[in-house]
Amino acid sequence: MNIYVLVKQTFDTEEKIMVENGDISEEDVQFVINPYDEYAIEEAIRQRDEHGGNITVLSVGPKRTVEALRTALAMGADEAVLLLDDDIPQDESCIANVLSTYLRNEKVDLLLAGYFSIDNGGGQVALRTAKKLQLPHVGSITSLSIENGLAEVERDAEGDLETIRVMLPALFTTQQGLNEPRYPSLPGIMKAKRKPLKQLTLEDIGLSAEMVKAKTKRVSVFSPPKKQPVND
């Protein structure tokens, strides 16, 4: 089974967000794997260990994203691919276009991703990628079992439980409750240094900057106003 996991590097959840000159400052910031993506990586490892196959973690991001991909390799993924984003706008439609362009040339049996990223909370990249690849998808799953090419998933549905069966290949987004992500072990960290990690540009996958124009624009970033004292 060829399993791909979409991964994003985000601010550590303990970081204090600082806005400077109308943008979010990254000075001295600690970055981590998006927490929801950790559930996707863990589930990929469990499914590979049960059914066999290979796990590739895939990300669009700057060079520092290598750190997050190495962590995923240390957790147990087999290889990683980074699509460098110097010419890629931080627009979810553009990122989905880049991901789907790369994945069209790969054999994908199972595609996993986090429910959403904690930095912008859009939750659009994975679903847009599935749409471009014409794959069925189910969002926010809490259970996944696969047998004979048929996946059965469960997800919360407004306080109830919904069960859905989907033929593979398909995309699923993961959330808390699906599993408990493992911590990288010391042997895993050492092995990760020897695992394949490719870094590709737009040109390498047949795209140009003109083909990934943003459809949205960030107008401004600002901190919420300070709370005023309450007068009795």
How many CA within 13 A on the CB side of residue 190?
Answer: 3
Within a 10 A sphere around the Cβ of 33, how many other Cβ atoms? 24
- pLDDT tens track for 32-72: 999 999 999 999 999 999 999 999 999 999 999 999 999 99
Domain range summary for the chain, segments of one domain joined by +: 2-212
Question: Across the chain, what does the average pLDDT equal?
Answer: 90
- Whether 29 has a pLDDT exceeding 90, the answer reads no
The rounded distance, in Å, linking the Cα atoms of 190 and 175 is: 28
Contacts of 22 (CB under 8 A, 6+ apart): 220, 221, 222
- Whether 30 has a pLDDT exceeding 90, the answer reads no
- Whether 89 has a pLDDT exceeding 90, the answer reads no
Domain 2-212: assigned CATH number: 3.40.50.620
Per-residue confidence (pLDDT) for residue 77, from 0 to 100:
98
- Whether 111 has a pLDDT exceeding 70, the answer reads yes
Q: How confident is the model at residue 15 (pLDDT cuts 50, 70, 90)?
A: low
pTM score: 0.91
